[in-house]
A and B are shown apart, each in its own frame.
Chain A
Amino acid sequence: MPSVETVKDFVLQLEKTLAARRLYHPGNAAYIDAGQRLVEKCRAATGEDGFTIAVTSTDIFLDKVAVLSRPKQEDSFFFPLFRDGLRELTFLPDVTAQDLDGFMSVLELKDRDLGATDDMINYLWRRDLNTIAHKAIDGIGESEEDGEPGNELHGLVADLASQIRDPAPPMTGQHYAFVVDADVRVAQQDFQYSAATLRRAFEENPTVLTLAEDEAQQVRTELGSNRDSVLVERFVEILLVAVRSPLKSVDPNTIGIMFQQLAEGYWNARDYARVTAILTHVHAAAGDASNPEYRTALADVIRRFLSTERLNILFLDFVGGALPPQLATRLWDLVPDEVVWPILLDSWSRLPDGETRSLVLVALRRRLAKNPELLRQSLTSPESGRVRAALALLDDKIERLFANDLIQLTLHPEESIRLKGLAAAARLGGQTALEALWKAMESDESKSVRLYAFRAISMVKWPELAGRLEALVTEPSFAERPLWEREKYVRLLGQIGGQDVVPLFESWMPSKRWMWQAKDLEILELALRGLGSTGAAGYERVQKMAISGGKPGDVAKKVLETLNRGEIGDATMGRRMPTISNIPLPDKQ
């Protein structure tokens, strides 16, 4: 017989262990220590005979001696068990740590943890403890007071029990033959035949009712491993049938949350195959469920589950190899293009060359073929990286589809993108492209952009160009531009204006013979550069001036030298005109 003191020690330790378990993680030393103490104290109390404690709403008794008193329900760890019907607990000798742990896990439960069909006692029973027994009442025919809930059922149970003992005689009257299922109708005689046949078969060979080894193995296999997975898979199938029903008998949000939780479960298990499978089904149902509320709820599941953050994680796993390409592709297909496109595009641009990058490129191109608008949105994105990635995705075949967007890039705040826009404009041609080139050449803040635009524009045939250049070089602010720029514009004007612009350059030449100022020499040089570019006559005129000597002659000589050198230089540059494909991306430089 255990002593009151040892049992008291044990129930106090129950309380302490519960507190430790609620406070600490199972791996924590305090948690483990509390569990060990509980086992020690329980074994000390059970001895060779075990012991039984009685549970009331406020006390725990050992043989009518109170070993623990907790008058306030909120302070009592045993009240929830009492409330649900527990009246006695028996701890057997050899009580195992495993059973004590199972018992504690029941004590830990809060009401909110209990399912619709569960209470504490149901849970305790399900723990199937071998060395801890419990005795509980259920309030129906097993209650102590008439006022307990459910007692009104007791009378009904008693009535029914008496009917069972003394049932009414069977009715007679067959209306039609017994129907086992929709299509099969069998007469009564057949059943007697079947019964006799079964018995005869058994008498002739009793093994007909013995399971063959393969049958037994099949049953064992089905009941063995993966039961949870099997149940969940079937449950998913059922949910999908439910959502395809035209009736809305299950709350769409409930269905949605169930799918979400199932997908989360597989996600946590990193079972991407099942995540993909379940989401694919949900996606399909979101499209073809007949009830619009189901469609909305299911679409929400996909939207919530495949969030941008999760897609980014999936992408990382895809790159790392944890998510197989075929699953990744299927998952991406479940997400609206406008959501997945930027993720794929941004990531693709950062991937090194190789199979993964190619796979993503295929995914991008597939979407692009379906919806060119995606690339347009990326080209106009405020994020420079995305614009650069979109530019990298372009090729000659599809470039024209995005001509306007590409030309618009000549106005992009980032210089490297403006350059690419100019390159595209130069290739695309047309009035808008030329206007963009002109504008860049005329007014871009960056020297390199202006220079690039100049080179591009100098290589196109544009009837308006001469007039525009003439207007540019004659406007008062032209003098404020750097000399090199002015020289280039003037030479270009000379080249394309020819004899028509000779008078203009002639008019620039200072008429003085002496007292040359630096400014006069600068204007003379510009005029001679222009003149020298207008053709053979203009060139001869510069040559003559070079021979004539004096300061103008020196200027003319200098112009002649650079004219020759410059022509060669511009031609070389023309061959090296950057295009979208040969300008390296900044992040790959």
Chain B
Amino acid sequence: MTDPTKQFSIEGLSLNLGGEEQGEGPGNIVMQTWFHLFRTAQIHAIDNQALQRPIAAMADMTNTLVPREGRIAFQAKDKALFVNGSKLRLTSDEYELAREVFTFFEERGIGGFAIEAPMDAAGVRRLLAALIYTPERTFEKLEIAVKAANIPFRLNKPFGSGRKSRSEVTLERRGYTFFTYSKLVVLYRNLISQQKLIASQRAFLLKKIARTIQALVDICLEDDHTFLGVSSVKSGEAYAAHHAANVAVLAIALGEKLGLSKVELADLGMGAVFHDVGLRDCPAEILMKPDPLDAKDRSLIEQHPMRSVEFLLNQRSFNRSTLSQIVVAFEHHRNYDGSGYPFGSRRPDILSRVVTIADVYDAMTTQRPWRNALMPDEALGKMSREAGRRFDPALIKVFVNTLGLYPIGTLVRLDSGDLGVVIYGGGEGERLSRPIIALIGRDGKPGTNVDLAERTPAGAYRWSIVQTEDPKKFGLQPSGVVATSMGFEN
């Protein structure tokens, strides 16, 4: 007889496990020292007094850490920094530093560096001469210069350079993003459309969904703006599958802004995909009912978080990822203030709160049989008003920062009178309110792209948004504009 305890396992759970080291570890010191050195060197000449302290700090750092650690290998990968193979957990103050480090590396085609032996101040100066005080911007030339400096410092190429990723080999990155999104929609649709899948079919679909979510995480880490573009895809058909995929995309994007690790993003994405899977047990005539729901209908609808949990529990295989999925599925209709359903006073987990925001945003911006879709900016405005009651106010702020005040897919009218669809927005600074627009031609097709952050020689903005427009008035479907203008030609 089979031992029932071996039917499944809860593996990978380390109870009371502490989080990653954060803040002032040796890795953070390397990053900070490096940042201050190149940042100051970019401003001042090598003999400037202001540069002497960063040079001394760099020399000290190598003298302290290299003998202890053997070497220092500093590498950037997927928007994360690694020191001797360990990923750095950055404090909020360090995010800005890290971004500049990435930019510095990207501009020069550098993936990272390795320091093999302690360096003195003279060695650091030779390094700066080879790396900073030079017009060269290519990896190959910089590498030659660094080698010629005769210091124990070696430049590394970006991770995976020289080998195109599958997306680059088969499809353009943007196309690949849309293609991966489509794959997720199809897989999920297949999973929920058949009530009685045999175990092997179900396992096949679940594994492929997991793989697709991983691919989406990779895309998000490579280019979150392109990634967000797919969340604007709306479809009258297969709402549940599109909704699941959109919520996953939005949740991953928001999670990435929160600093979740790659694996945590995948867990969040899986939770987002399956958050509404319990609705497959709900009759279509209720889900698609054009009239207001009566109490009985609502009761059925409100059972769906528990039905989703049951679907996930019946996988009979548990690890941290499935626990996240189950928690998210159960809590995504519980509000920040503890109200909502299923009944319970506890504030939802942070992953659930992320998915709630993604879920509501996508639902609001999608046309349903009983109501029109809201425009993206309207949905964001409405959600902001509900911050603190329904939504986590901090996460709402991050969400608005992620999407921008005019999220991708928003139809806007410019002060030039032109109509355009936002195809690139969000982020920091002026990009938050000044996205990139695909202008709509007379034929309704996307034409030229304009960057609203662009200024005239006099310093004024060249274009500005005067108002948002309802796409229905113009018979437009913004997601098609976004897909086309982003080069999706599968």
CB contacts (< 8 Å) of B165 on chain A: these are 135
| Interface 1/0 per residue, B328-372 and A, CB below 8 Å | 001100000000101010100110000000001000100101111
- The answer to whether A160 and B159 touch across the interface, beta carbons within 8 angstroms, is no
Within 8 A of B (CB), among A458-483: none
B461 interfacial contact with A, CB 8 Å: no
- The answer to whether B350 and A223 touch across the interface, beta carbons within 8 angstroms, is yes
Within 8 A of B (CB), among A436-466: none
Query: Knowing A115-B317, A130-B77, A130-B85 touch, does A142 contact B166 (C-beta < 8 A)?
Result: yes
- The answer to whether B397 and A175 touch across the interface, beta carbons within 8 angstroms, is no
CB contacts (< 8 Å) of B307 on chain A: these are 249
Within 8 A of A (CB), among B440-467: none
- The answer to whether A225 and B19 touch across the interface, beta carbons within 8 angstroms, is yes
- The answer to whether A139 and B208 touch across the interface, beta carbons within 8 angstroms, is yes
9-residue interface stretch from A149-157, A423-431, A580-588: A149-157
How many Å from the CB of B311 to the closest CB on chain A? Answer: 9
Which of A157, A166, A197, A219 touches B182 (beta carbons < 8 Å)? A157
Q: How many pairs, one residue from A and one from B, have CB atoms within 8 Å of each other in the complex?
A: 345
- The answer to whether B260 and A133 touch across the interface, beta carbons within 8 angstroms, is no
CB contacts (< 8 Å) of A261 on chain B: these are 5, 9-10
Query: Complex formed: what's the CA distance from A126 to B319 in Å?
Result: 12
Query: Knowing A170-B472, A196-B381, A209-B397 touch, does A182 contact B298 (C-beta < 8 A)?
Result: yes
- The answer to whether B313 and A250 touch across the interface, beta carbons within 8 angstroms, is yes
- The answer to whether A165 and B17 touch across the interface, beta carbons within 8 angstroms, is no
Query: Complex formed: what's the CA distance from A232 to B373 in Å?
Result: 37
How many Å from the CB of A227 to the closest CB on chain B? Answer: 7
A198 interfacial contact with B, CB 8 Å: yes
Query: Knowing A117-B321, A128-B263, A133-B159 touch, does A173 contact B372 (C-beta < 8 A)?
Result: yes
CB contacts (< 8 Å) of A568 on chain B: these are none
Query: Knowing A130-B77, A231-B327 touch, does A254 contact B314 (C-beta < 8 A)?
Result: yes
Query: Complex formed: what's the CA distance from A92 to B161 in Å?
Result: 10
Query: Complex formed: what's the CA distance from A208 to B370 in Å?
Result: 34
CB contacts (< 8 Å) of B261 on chain A: these are 128
Nearest neighbor of A206 in chain B, beta-carbon distance: B432
Query: Knowing A175-B370, A194-B385, A202-B405 touch, does A228 contact B14 (C-beta < 8 A)?
Result: yes
- The answer to whether A211 and B398 touch across the interface, beta carbons within 8 angstroms, is yes
Which of B87, B313, B397, B490 touches A158 (beta carbons < 8 Å)? B490
How many Å from the CB of B286 to the closest CB on chain A? Answer: 14
Counting contact residues on chain A (CB < 8 A from B), the size range is 35 or more
B236 interfacial contact with A, CB 8 Å: yes
Query: Complex formed: what's the CA distance from A304 to B190 in Å?
Result: 40
Within 8 A of A (CB), among B195-212: 202-204, 206-212
B417 interfacial contact with A, CB 8 Å: no
- The answer to whether B298 and A117 touch across the interface, beta carbons within 8 angstroms, is no
How many Å from the CB of B484 to the closest CB on chain A? Answer: 6
B214 interfacial contact with A, CB 8 Å: yes
- The answer to whether B324 and A172 touch across the interface, beta carbons within 8 angstroms, is no
CB contacts (< 8 Å) of A173 on chain B: these are 372
B433 interfacial contact with A, CB 8 Å: yes
- The answer to whether A209 and B400 touch across the interface, beta carbons within 8 angstroms, is yes
Question: Apart from A188-B372, A257-B8, what are 6 other A-B pairs with CB-CB below 8 Å?
Answer: A92-B159, A140-B208, A164-B235, A176-B292, A198-B400, A250-B314
Report, nearest first, the 8 A-B pairs whose CB atoms are least far apart: A194-B381, A195-B381, A191-B378, A115-B317, A215-B394, A224-B19, A96-B85, A116-B315
16 of the cross-chain contacts (CB-CB < 8 Å) are: A92-B159, A115-B315, A116-B322, A118-B207, A118-B210, A125-B214, A135-B165, A140-B183, A165-B178, A192-B378, A195-B382, A202-B432, A222-B349, A226-B17, A227-B17, A242-B309
Q: Give residues in A with beta carbon < 8 Å to B.
A: 52, 85, 90, 92-94, 96, 98-99, 113, 115-119, 121-122, 125-126, 128, 130-131, 133, 135, 137-142, 149-150, 153, 156-158, 160-182, 186, 188, 190-199, 202-203, 206, 208-213, 215-216, 218-220, 222-232, 234-235, 237-239, 241-242, 245, 249-251, 253-255, 257-258, 260-262, 265-266, 269, 271, 274
